[in-house]
Amino acid sequence: MSNEIEKIKYHISTLKDSVEFINVDGLAVKLDLSKAQFDRLFEICDEFDHKIEDDKIFSRAEFEKILSDEFGIGYRTIKMIIDDFAKYEHFEYLAYAYMLSSKCNAPLVKDKYNKT
């Protein structure tokens, strides 16, 4: 029985890595998040997205620390999350600011959505 459970876990893990999801909800499967954790991830990202839109300020270090503390994830997983946001056009300010900050590792002072 234990071998069968391990085999099923392996198959699920393999499927998660190979499936191309059609929207950002696939992150819950990729990251093995509960509904509450997935909702929390979106709350955090929404807060940062609004802060960037309103104040034009982004701290990559703060964002990464919060996600690391909340979910125990590192840079590569955070980058994958940001890539999915960009791909599915979620949290566009956050995605753009994160990508921009990775090039220069400096706070964002102006973004591509600036309408002024």
- The residue with tokens 């893990």 is 13
DSSP label at 116?
A: -
* Per-residue model confidence as pLDDT tens digits over 35-61: 999 999 999 999 999 999 998 889 999
Query: Which sequence spans correspond to the domains of the chain?
Result: 22-104
Mean pLDDT of 56-83: 93
Tell me the pTM: 0.74
Q: Which structure tokens are listed for 111?
A: 């973004």
